[in-house]
Chain A
Amino acid sequence: MFSYCADPDTLDTMRWFACYLTTGVHKSFYLAFFKVLLLLAITAPVALGFGFAGAMAARSHLPPLRWLGKVYIAVVRGVPDIAFFLFFVIALDQAVEYLRHRMLCPDWEQPIRQGADFVVCQAAKMPLGTAPQFVHETYGFFIAVFTFAIVFGAFAANVLYGGMRAVPRAQLETAAAYGMSQRQTFWRILVPQMWVYALPGLSNLWMVLIKATPLLFLLGIEDIVYWARELGGTKTSRFTSYPHGDWRVWYFLFLLVFYLAFTRVSEIALERLMLRLTHGQATSGGEVQRKAAAS
């Protein structure tokens, strides 16, 4: 990075750190922060979508749809995250490759399952074996987003389901008395009011999601915790120009500050959102706002 970095052994402390903190590996570390933030930014809305669909399905009048919603919520909530991440991702990847194999290589004769091996033709590989590493990483990233969204979607579905049931029955009956259809009642009366009941649960989920990102390395994505562990580990002078002892505690301290700052900002944002959502609602929070405005 800097011209004086050629021979780190001779540098004074300040310059040594300037060089050390700008090595290629450290850039990967900084990049990992963006990866984590991007993952959260994509996963949160997608998971909320899964949750909404799951909650709608679970309270549907059609029995098959209702069962589907309830089974989704029960199964995904019941399976440990780590098992889900190890099993489901590989299964999903294999399912995609199996479908592609069926479409692209119809005259393939060997069995797909050979002992423990999963063998599909080269053209069915997802992504292709010849694709650059960047494509593999992007594909892995979206598999991760999808998996996170399914897991957190199930929890969100349960929260939203509870939120929908918490809306006072009288509101829905009044809507029916005004001649609204089921669909109108749902979208115009139920959904706008349920958020205030669902938000505390959803904000918990958001906090847990922020902290769940180290599961990413199970999927082969190098997240910030992986890099902190890797960079902080003891480095001997044979393998690096910047030997140091066990510095993991400093790297993890940095992560601690990052996560605390991030969750604090989230808390503030969620509090503001809560204030907006309670406005005009028939809840104790809404009542407080009404009285404050009246006096």
Chain B
Amino acid sequence: MKKIIPGAVALALTAGMAPAQDNTIRMGTEGAYPPYNFINDAGEVDGFERQVGDELCKRAELTCEWVKNDWDSIIPNLVSGNYDTIMAGMSITAEREEVIDFTQNYYPPTASAYVSTAEGVDVMSAIVAAQTATIQAGHVAETGATLVEFATPEETVAAVRNGEADAVFADLDYLVPLVEESGGELVFVGDKVPLGDGIGMGLRESDTELRDKFDAAISSMKEDGTLNDMLRKWFGEDTQVYGEDGGTGSGS
């Protein structure tokens, strides 16, 4: 053992000592939250964020590579340097701002909605499912409802289908395709709730230079309307888009 360990360390230390290039950016995502990010039939990361992210990298003249990571450990792995950005439908909140930095939002403040199998569920007192460590889970905990948390979005919806929870609370855009294709099994209940400050790209707090680059790229995409086109493509014609001044106006 004594002989092997220093050898292994030396090997690890010298492996791949190629000259450093600063411009490969690793983009972390969850890959389980369509239409924001998901794995397509070919096994690649796809979705709204993939398209926006690739365009941002092009504009910022960076080479980007997509990496999948579990939602639970997505922030620890960012601050530890295993990848450089998070684009995973992550809403900008004060709580997260304490640990990581965000760019300006590339998706306007999201509406979240309740979905249930029956009309007339009182979402303020029912059992409501939400994904762990999301703003939706935080919101449900503040209402009078009983919160049940799940690790993935998929499980929150399944909990409603099998009766474990009365309703699920999640981003409206995640729920819309599911409700449409459920053949009437799932319905929206209660009011839509605007939460968070929109969705932004998460970066390490020390990475100010990279954040400025992406911020500028997002601004330019907002200005020339490409971001709005992508929003409409992935979320439908009626989605919120950015106005002339970069603020949000609804509908198109």
Which residues of A does B touch, CB under 8 Å? 23-25, 27-28, 53, 86, 90, 93-94, 96-97, 99-100, 103-104, 110, 114-123, 125-131, 133, 135-136, 217-218, 220, 222, 229-230, 233-234, 236-243, 246, 248
Contact = CB atoms under 8 A, between A and B. Distances in A.
13 contacts: A23-B43, A24-B42, A24-B44, A103-B13, A115-B206, A125-B20, A230-B32, A233-B154, A236-B178, A239-B34, A239-B40, A246-B158, A248-B158
A25 B42 CA distance: 6
Contacts of B22: 122, 129
B41 A23 contact: yes
B13 A99 contact: yes
Contact of A121 (B20, B34, B84): B20
B79 A116 contact: yes
Contacts of A100: 12-13
A53 B1 contact: yes
A241 B41 contact: yes
A117 B17 contact: no
Contact of B16 (A103, A117, A118, A131): A131
A237 B18 CA distance: 45
A46 B99 CA distance: 37
B228 interface: no
Given A99-B9, A122-B21, A230 B39 contact: yes
Contacts of A119: 81, 204, 206
A234 B16 contact: no
Interface residues on B, range: 35 or more
B73 A236 contact: no
Given A117-B79, A236-B34, A27 B43 contact: yes
B67 interface: yes
Nearest to A120: B81
Contact of A86 (B26, B76, B81, B177): B76
A2 B69 CA distance: 31
Given A90-B76, A96-B13, 10 more contacts: A25-B43, A86-B76, A116-B205, A125-B20, A135-B16, A218-B73, A220-B67, A229-B154, A230-B31, A238-B35
Interface string B3-25: 00000010011011111111011
B124 to A, nearest CB: 27
A56 B205 CA distance: 46
Contacts of B42: 23-25
A5 to B, nearest CB: 10
Contacts of A28: 43
B65 interface: yes
B41 A240 contact: yes
B96 to A, nearest CB: 11
A93 B154 contact: no
A239 B158 CA distance: 19
Nearest to A125: B81
Contact of A237 (B25, B100, B181): B181
A248 B205 CA distance: 38
Nearest to A231: B39
A117 B207 CA distance: 9
Interface in B69-98: 69-70, 72-73, 76-77, 79-82, 84
A16 to B, nearest CB: 13
B195 to A, nearest CB: 23
Interface in B35-76: 35, 38-44, 46-47, 65, 67-70, 72-73, 76
A120 B84 CA distance: 13
Given A117-B205, A243-B181, A246-B158, A220 B82 contact: yes
A237 B181 CA distance: 8
A130 B21 CA distance: 7
Nearest to A246: B158
A108 B32 CA distance: 39
A135 B67 CA distance: 13
B67 A136 contact: yes
Nearest to A8: B41
Contacts of A97: 81
B1 A218 contact: no
A24 B177 CA distance: 23
Given A236-B34, A239-B34, A239-B38, A127 B13 contact: no
Nearest to B28: A220
B221 interface: no
User: Which 10 residue pairs across A and B have the least CB separation, nearest first?
Assistant: A24-B43, A24-B42, A122-B20, A233-B154, A123-B20, A236-B177, A114-B206, A25-B43, A23-B41, A117-B206
